[in-house]
A and B are shown apart, each in its own frame.
Chain A
Amino acid sequence: MKRWLMILLLALTGTGWHGLHAGEARPRAENELTEKRLVAISSELRCLVCQNESLAGSNAELAVDLRREIRTLINDGKSDTEIMEFMVSRYGDFVRYRPPLKGSTLLLWFGPGLLFVAGLLALVLYLRRRDRAIKDTPLTAEEQRRAEALLQDQDSRQGHP
């Protein structure tokens, strides 16, 4: 009984979700290629109102306006690079999710790599120093004697439980 109820519920919510989805994802332009390029370009851009959303995914008013603007630019025959330049010249490099490589972004691009190399170097240095410390301090005669005594003691115990 319970299982059937579950299946019924799942089926119901499934159809409900599908129905909603179909209503939302209505293509807005007749040209499918334009829409594909629009999505590709706007996924690379940050929405400045909701800064952790891409322009493709945001419902902010400005995002809607900018998507309309990009659609117009595509229809005007502008290339992706030109559209990117259009956006950057107005909103700065900040709109790009992939910041360009230049003086002010060097640390951003190579900082993590540098940190990794520094960590690796520190690790190697530490291990080498420890290695040397172990090799450089041989046992004294007294320690040697005690170690042997202990080992023999264990041997004898193992021999005669």
Chain B
Amino acid sequence: MNRFLWPLVGFVVLVVLLAVGLRLNPRDVPSPLVGKPAPAFALPRLDTPDKEFSPKEMLGKVWLLNVWASWCVSCRQEHPVLVELAKRQTVPLVGLNYKEVRGDGAIDSDKVAPGDEKRMVIERAAGWLRKHGDPYTLSVLDVDGRVGIDYGVYGVPETYVIDKAGIIRMKHTGPITPEVFSGRILPLLAELSK
């Protein structure tokens, strides 16, 4: 009896470890930015490119920062959720348009003249929002992805929940599904808005 007990215990421990390991999502990298102030930036707005937007304008409000691009396929998947969120007018939703031209594998960005790039970014981003609906309070243009690096963006879409004090309280990588939205984001927003 005792002879089989320890191998059995070892086997069960191994099975439990593997079962847990298989359920983990390797894309779910914990962000060190959660609990830290949202990195500052000043980027041109999509609607008025000669004006800039900074996160400090949102101090005192709970808001969402959503990283998107027209070439991003998963963004299309999450877009209806964002449109729904905008309809409810729960919180302001700021879009960070990430490398609209440079990130698109279909465009050889080396051949795009520097002066043309911003115009192309605006055309493409605005066109996409006209076609699919614009849930954003405003969108800003991160043409070279430099602000994306400060936010630790490594896959679009990504979404950040930022509190009244400008602290990042949550980061979600990948499309927001209705489950994630009602299960994780909405409760957090309710708590932060108190």
Contact = CB atoms under 8 A, between A and B. Distances in A.
B149 A49 contact: no
Contacts of B152: 90-92
A61 interface: yes
Nearest to B109: A61
A69 B146 CA distance: 9
The bracket for how many chain A residues form the interface is 10 to 19
B77 to A, nearest CB: 19
Interface in B116-133: none
Contacts of B30: 92, 94
Contact of A48 (B29, B99, B102, B150): B29
A61 B32 CA distance: 22
A92 B103 CA distance: 23
Interface in B141-178: 145, 149-152, 154-155
A90 B32 contact: yes
Chain B's interface size range is 10 to 19
B103 A61 contact: yes
A94 B155 CA distance: 15
B33 interface: yes
B29 A62 contact: no
A88 interface: yes
A49 B105 CA distance: 15
B193 to A, nearest CB: 28
Interface of B: 26, 29-33, 99, 102-103, 105, 145, 149-152, 154-155
Given A48-B155, A61-B105, A91-B31, 16 more contacts: A48-B29, A49-B155, A51-B26, A61-B103, A62-B145, A69-B149, A88-B32, A90-B33, A90-B149, A90-B152, A91-B154, A92-B29, A92-B30, A92-B31, A92-B32, A94-B30
